[in-house]
Structure 1
Amino acid sequence: MLSLLLTAAMAASAGAPAWHDGLDWHGVHVAISRDAQHNYTLAWPYGERVIAAQPLRTETASALFDGLFAMAQDDLALDSVSAIRDGAFDHGQPIPCQCFVTGLKWPYVWTRDLSYAIDLGLWRFDPARSLNGLKFKLSDVRVPSAPQGLYPMQDTGSGGSWPISTDRVVWFLGARHLLGDKAFAGDVDKALGATLAQDRQYAFDATFGLYRGETSFLDWREQSYPAWTADEVTFIAQSYALSTNVLHYQALQLAATLADGRHDAKTAAGYRSQAAALKSAINAHFWRADRGMYMSYIGGDGTPYDTYDLLGIALAIDSGVADGERARQALANYPTWPAGSPVIWPERSDQPIYHNRAIWPFVSAYALRAARMTEQPARIAHEIESVMRGAALYGSNMENYELLTQGQHVDEGKLSGPVVNSPRQLWSVAAYFAVVTEGVFGLGEDGRVEPKLPTSLVPMLFGQRRAITLDLRDRQITLQLPEKIAGNLLVADHTATRGTATTVTLKAIQVPDAPLRTDAPLYAPIAPAAPLLRADGDGWKITTDGKVRLYLNGRVHGSVDGDGHLARQPGLACLSATRVDAHGLESLHSPATCVGEVAKVAGNWPRSWTASAGGSYRVALDYANDHGPINTGITAAVKMLVIRCAGSDEQRLPIVMPHSVRTQPSTWGRFDARAGATCRFTLEDGFNMSYLGHFAHYTGGSGGSDGALNQADVHALLIAPLATGHATP
């Protein structure tokens, strides 16, 4: 059945679609009609949607393209509300807010959904409501003893939210478009300074030069992280994600720009220096030359993971973190299927469809933006067609689609999905706006019009016309065809502006364009079990789950088939395993098995310990945190471990104790001690999301309306010497 679907999909996608009065896909015909007043009727075998004439309009040869633009406006109107609600806030009662809801099934405002949607163009279509939503997600601090300030909220999430997830800085990606409001701009400046300082304190790792935390948006752990993270979130809190680091880079760049606006050259230079160092670290640690792509995430000790995500790569290109040939390669090497581009690759054969084996229109819109920046016409057309097709097939801008069929639900037993799918999902609505304004008409953030339109889309958009037009509230853009079209990309030849009307005469050029990558295997191998280690003479005997590739302290150690031997290591030795398939594709890693001397220091605080040898040590806390479930909440326990070793300066290490289902080690930090030095350890209060005033409205768990909570049941200090080269770039 799968091969038949793929064959049909390839046949359907061969050549540019006409798509004037409808489309055909997998045996389904969608038809659209338009009357003289620009009312549209979209019909398919199982339904019909009538779309009233909208205030903004496109005039092209495709009633489908024009009608879907009208439908996106209608979806946005339905998402525009005067009150929001969620079962975990104010006991599900309405909360007044002239805001956008996230979608039909998500009647609340979430930081990342709103911010990405605004960045994709909602700021043009309803700036007031966009501003209100961003203000709703900004909060002061309700704990008097904690540092005061304004902070965007990390929503409820993995292991108790921030700093397991650290992508709340995406808020600034949306806010940067609305700085014309002076009062809001002042709040943005304050929040940016406070947030960057706090993330530098609790999420930044100076050894790697990267910020820790979960991948942005991909926050259902088992979908994209190893399956064992379902009840072991500490790995994610210790790891580094491409997307989240790129968002921090963009936040640092914005902070430098705002400091320039205050004529604070010293602060601006500091932020630019941090941004440049972060860009360098991202390129050093995430780039995987054998794949020609940036990895989605790496382990806390630098362990590479053979997994990739389209949003992270697109953001890296869009932000300028990836530039030149790397930017071109990273997008060209990311696989596609006839229906669109998956949000992660490779897929997981043991997980249901949601982030896994799925197309998300808002991610496709960021890929479209990246394709325009790198001038890849085939990819531009592919993403435009994918967003249009999905909206047309289901009469709404859906949250996501299954990858192989672009279905809104595929029945595969326990693997069925998408598990959740909502009509008029806000960032999907924004994705269609981005297709129109950026993808076709070339309207940039700064108001300049720079079309990069694949010639393959001319039959759909122009038909027998010589010009197409976009009418917005404050301007009109017209694109005119050249007399001859010879090439693969239409760009501006001449631009004329009269008042609010801009007319661009196009010219066709030929640019180097890699074909869409369609040869990638769909699934990664299933990860093996953790390697077993037992003392054996001068080292350890290794027993593995069949033939695997071993990683020792973050680096490839070699391959074994069933059993092997590990020589005794100086310091802590942590071994994980991957399985490699016939394509050379690696599975995700098994849990790590660590051997070596670990000191357990219990008792009252402060606690003392004496170093037997000089060097670097790894320290964690044995703890339990039962203040919320693994997948949500706001009560990850965050502390600062203060270490004072004789003969050394004070060392301060952030320690994160996510929600847990058992006693387990916290995140770990690295400190140095001289031989024979006695070290005293003190645990100081940190900061978590329950400290924010807004979460007084949280009624779905601990740390909300019942008061801030930043505690865990702490047992022993765990101290082990680090092997030479452990956790170093």
Structure 2
Amino acid sequence: MLSIALAAALAASAATPAWHDGLDWHGVHVSMSQDAQGSYTLAWPYGQRVIPVQPLHTDTASPLFDGLFAMAQDDLKQDSVTAIRDGAFDHGQPIPCQCFETGLKWPYVWTRDLSYSVDLGLWRFDPARSRNGLQFKLSDVRVPSAPQGLYVMQDTGSGGSWPISTDRVVWFLGAQHLLGDKAFAADVYRALGNTLAQDRQYAFDAGFGLYRGETSFLDWREQTYPAWTADNVVAIGQSFALSTNVLHYQALQLAASQADAHHDAKAASDYRAQAATLKTAINAHFWRADRGLYMSYLGGDGTPYDTYDLLGIALAITSGVADGERARQTLANYPTWPAGSPVIWPERADQPIYHNRAIWPFVSAYALRAARTVNAPSRIAHEIESVMRGAALYGSNMENYELLTQGQHVDEGKLSGPVVNSPRQVWSVAAYFAVVTEGVFGLTEDGHVEPKLPTSLVPMLFGQRTSITLNLPDRQITLQLPAHHDGNLLVADRADTHGTSTVVTLKAIQVQDTPLRTDAPLYAPTAPAAPVLTADAGSWHVQVDGKVMLFINGQRHGSIDGNGQLARQPGLLCVNATRIDAQGLESLHSPDICVGDVTKMAGNWPRMWMASATGNYRVSLDYANEHGPINTGITATVKMLLIRCAGSDEQRLPIVMPHSIGVQHSTWGRFAAKAGAGCQFTLDDGFNMSYLTHFAHYTGGAGGSDGPLNQADVRELVIAPLATETTTP
């Protein structure tokens, strides 16, 4: 009897068109059915989920597509709460909030998770709850001596949070959709001015024209940055990330348009100028021509890293930072696997699965937006199918999936993962909404209907039908199939709107469509150890482990095998190395080894020093900050170093001292001095996240309920002359 039943089930599965009533993946069959009352049942070998009738619905030829839209609504209903909680706030007690919690395993609200979710479409489905959550992430200041204002919060994070991480400006990506509420719009404008001014003061580097700070969302250091950052995040705070800079560009654009709305022509002009120069700087520094890709991040001295992330690239395309051929090329050159697109590439062979070797649906949704921007049918279809498949396989909109199998967990010993994987993760729920509203029905942010539907999806969505429909709270959208669709992309031929109903007649066109890149190597090589430099009669003897590529002061120097010599030159010489494998992939960089004339000064402030030569100098502090662990907290120490040199204007440099393990160097800055000039150094207070009123609720570490804290054990002032030109072989 068992064999007969199994044979019947297999026969039924074979008779069901793929992606209609179900799908098959890696030997697993899932099915979606609908009863007479309109409820759906999603079933797979180990369980099932009954999905109640939902207020919104799609009407297509695919019960799977329609049922997953109902499931996304049911997931969102479960994420809609009256209180949130986190062990690090109010001792884990519930905090009233009519908002979205982040997921089953993450019952709190985080700035980036919520903001990306709102931007992907939650503002359409529950604007009040979206606003409430965003409002929860704003705060005024509780330190009377600090600049007052309304600021977006950077959540607890790397080295004690901001400005090691600076992607809090993602908040404006979500907030821009909710400006119809006048009180909220006023808060947005105020927070824009305060937050952007603060980031300009403490995170902007005028020399590069870029904002410093960690990659957005990719905040587990060892997964994406060199392994040595596990114990020292200063290099991350010194570095520049593509995603975070694009988010600043978008925030500046919003600030300009809001200044226009407030009739402040000067502010609007200033914001537009800052946005324009930032776009130029991003394209000048992050574009890697030999790869045809935008790099994920750069070292603090401009060192190029051969690593890429899909969210940064997608945001660069959709924001307009990447335009024309670069936009098309960077998406086409970012690799895919059958299950979907990885959030980083190349992967790390020594790291567990989480951001590494993983698919995240919300990032896939941004890749879908980017693919629509550049008219890439194969990529549009690939991202839609990836988001759908993941939700169908596991009966919820999961946080993430393993790249090669789209598994929710793969057992590989110490590399097993995803390490954490929460059901009904709110930005994954938003990703499915984006697949439906934007990816299939072409609903744009401004309410226009601009379908860009790959013809490869016609069998799934239309079957034998000639039309499909989306029913939203305030409108109905119907797409009508043309008699012939021989091209690769369906777009609007004409649209007729009557009241809240829009009927779009489609037409097929043929666009240039680069095939998905499926030939990329999976793993990058492991980074080498730091070079060893020893003084050797007018030169530096360099010893490295095997054949490596040497970088000096941020510039590629050349390959070296085992040993070599570097000529001594005036100024600081900072050397690191990478390894390049047989496939041409380059590892992440080793730590820097810096040699040259260095002056260290201890004692009381102010401290005095005399310049030996006219030129530029690098300055930092030796310090210890043991107020919290490397991976979290709100007490990164942020100070302003005031430098007054005879014959020169005052120079102000932000100095960041994140949580440390023992004594280490702070972030560094550049200043200029003339030969023989006496310089006075004074350390003034800066600003950190503990200064915000909201963090009085933080009970997970220092700087919270026990009061603001922006202090470190400051040791020597460290000064070194910068090289006047790049060292050459």
TM-score range, shorter chain: over 0.9
Detail structure 1 runs of 4+ shifted over 4 Å in the superposition: none
Aligned-partner Cα distance in 2 for 1:31–1:163: 47
Aligned-partner Cα distance in 1 for 2:348–2:46: 31
Aligned-partner Cα distance in 2 for 1:164–1:190: 23
Give the deviation of 1:36 after TM superposition: 2.4
What secondary structure, in the 3-state scheme, does the structure 2 residue paired with 1:339 have?
coil
Aligned-partner Cα distance in 2 for 1:314–1:541: 43
1:242 paired residue number: 242
1:4 paired residue number: none
Give the deviation of 1:37 after TM superposition: 2.3
Unaligned runs of 5+ in 1: 1-15
1:70 paired residue number: 70
Aligned-partner Cα distance in 2 for 1:656–1:718: 14
Q: Which amino acid aligns with 2:439?
A: G
- Is residue 2:214 matched to residue 1:214? yes
Q: Which amino acid aligns with 1:616?
A: N
1:474 paired residue number: 474
1:11 paired residue number: none
Aligned-partner Cα distance in 1 for 2:545–2:425: 43
1:655 paired residue number: 655
Q: Deviations over 1:290-311 (max 9, x none)?
A: 0000000000000000000000
Instruction: For 1:548-697, list aligned pairs within 5 A.
Output: 548-697=548-697
1:397 paired residue number: 397
What secondary structure, in the 3-state scheme, does the structure 1 residue paired with 2:189 have?
helix
1:333–1:517: 8 Å Cα contact kept in structure 2?
yes
What secondary structure, in the 3-state scheme, does the structure 2 residue paired with 1:580 have?
coil
1:301–1:726: 8 Å Cα contact kept in structure 2?
no
Give the deviation of 1:164 after TM superposition: 0.1
Q: Which amino acid aligns with 1:232?
A: N
Q: Deviations over 1:700-723 (max 9, x none)?
A: 000000000000000000000000
- Is residue 2:271 matched to residue 1:271? yes
2:613–2:676: 8 Å Cα contact kept in structure 1?
yes
What secondary structure, in the 3-state scheme, does the structure 2 residue paired with 1:251 have?
helix
1:301 paired residue number: 301
1:407 paired residue number: 407
Give the deviation of 1:244 after TM superposition: 0.1
1:332 paired residue number: 332
Give the deviation of 1:89 after TM superposition: 0.1
What secondary structure, in the 3-state scheme, does the structure 1 residue paired with 2:469 have?
strand
Aligned-partner Cα distance in 2 for 1:571–1:153: 39
What secondary structure, in the 3-state scheme, does the structure 2 residue paired with 1:417 have?
coil
Length-normalised TM-score, structure 1: 0.97
2:539 paired residue number: 539
- Is residue 2:291 matched to residue 1:316? no
Q: Which amino acid aligns with 1:111?
A: T
Q: Which amino acid aligns with 2:539?
A: G
* Identity %, equivalent residues: 82
Give the deviation of 1:17 after TM superposition: 7.8
Aligned-partner Cα distance in 1 for 2:383–2:724: 46
Q: Which amino acid aligns with 1:287?
A: W
What secondary structure, in the 3-state scheme, does the structure 1 residue paired with 2:719 have?
strand
Q: Deviations over 1:112-167 (max 9, x none)?
A: 00000000000000000000000000000000000000011100000000000000
- Is residue 2:286 matched to residue 1:286? yes
2:18–2:24: 8 Å Cα contact kept in structure 1?
no
What secondary structure, in the 3-state scheme, does the structure 1 residue paired with 2:118 have?
helix
Length-normalised TM-score, structure 2: 0.97
1:139–1:150: 8 Å Cα contact kept in structure 2?
yes
2:350 paired residue number: 350
What secondary structure, in the 3-state scheme, does the structure 2 residue paired with 1:176 have?
helix
1:398–1:421: 8 Å Cα contact kept in structure 2?
yes
Q: Which amino acid aligns with 1:273?
A: A
Give the deviation of 1:93 after TM superposition: 0.3
Q: Deviations over 1:669-691 (max 9, x none)?
A: 00000000010000000000000
Give the deviation of 1:600 after TM superposition: 0.1
What secondary structure, in the 3-state scheme, does the structure 1 residue paired with 2:486 have?
coil
1:482–1:506: 8 Å Cα contact kept in structure 2?
yes
Give the deviation of 1:662 after TM superposition: 1.5
Aligned-partner Cα distance in 2 for 1:569–1:295: 30
Aligned-partner Cα distance in 2 for 1:55–1:546: 63
What secondary structure, in the 3-state scheme, does the structure 2 residue paired with 1:576 have?
strand
What secondary structure, in the 3-state scheme, does the structure 1 residue paired with 2:149 have?
coil
- Is residue 2:259 matched to residue 1:259? yes
- Is residue 2:495 matched to residue 1:495? yes
Instruction: For 1:74-93, list aligned pairs within 5 A.
Output: 74-93=74-93
Q: Which amino acid aligns with 2:711?
A: Q
Aligned-partner Cα distance in 1 for 2:583–2:476: 50
- Is residue 2:449 matched to residue 1:449? yes
Aligned-partner Cα distance in 1 for 2:184–2:302: 39
How many matched pairs? 712
Q: Which amino acid aligns with 2:118?
A: I
1:150 paired residue number: 150
Aligned-partner Cα distance in 2 for 1:60–1:37: 17
Unaligned runs of 5+ in 2: 1-15
Q: Deviations over 1:49-88 (max 9, x none)?
A: 0000100000000000000000000000000000000000
Instruction: For 1:428-467, list aligned pairs within 5 A.
Output: 428-467=428-467
Q: Which amino acid aligns with 2:437?
A: T
Aligned-partner Cα distance in 2 for 1:445–1:31: 33
2:721 paired residue number: 721
Q: Which amino acid aligns with 1:660?
A: S
Q: 1:564 to 1:17 in 2, by over 3 A?
A: farther
What secondary structure, in the 3-state scheme, does the structure 1 residue paired with 2:597 have?
coil
Q: Which amino acid aligns with 1:53?
A: V
Q: Which amino acid aligns with 1:482?
A: P
Give the deviation of 1:726 after TM superposition: 6.5
1:508 paired residue number: 508
1:643–1:651: 8 Å Cα contact kept in structure 2?
yes
Give the deviation of 1:18 after TM superposition: 2.8
Aligned-partner Cα distance in 1 for 2:248–2:577: 31
Q: Which amino acid aligns with 1:584?
A: G
Aligned-partner Cα distance in 2 for 1:192–1:456: 43
2:552–2:726: 8 Å Cα contact kept in structure 1?
no
Instruction: For 1:165-176, list aligned pairs within 5 A.
Output: 165-176=165-176
Aligned-partner Cα distance in 1 for 2:63–2:125: 22
Instruction: For 1:113-152, list aligned pairs within 5 A.
Output: 113-152=113-152
1:573–1:596: 8 Å Cα contact kept in structure 2?
yes
1:6 paired residue number: none
Give the deviation of 1:725 after TM superposition: 3.9
2:7 paired residue number: none
1:18–1:459: 8 Å Cα contact kept in structure 2?
no
Q: Which amino acid aligns with 1:722?
A: L
Give the deviation of 1:265 after TM superposition: 1.2
Q: Deviations over 1:361-418 (max 9, x none)?
A: 0000000000000000000000000000000000000000000000000000000000
Aligned-partner Cα distance in 1 for 2:37–2:64: 16
Give the deviation of 1:264 after TM superposition: 1.2
What secondary structure, in the 3-state scheme, does the structure 2 residue paired with 1:612 have?
coil
Give the deviation of 1:472 after TM superposition: 0.4
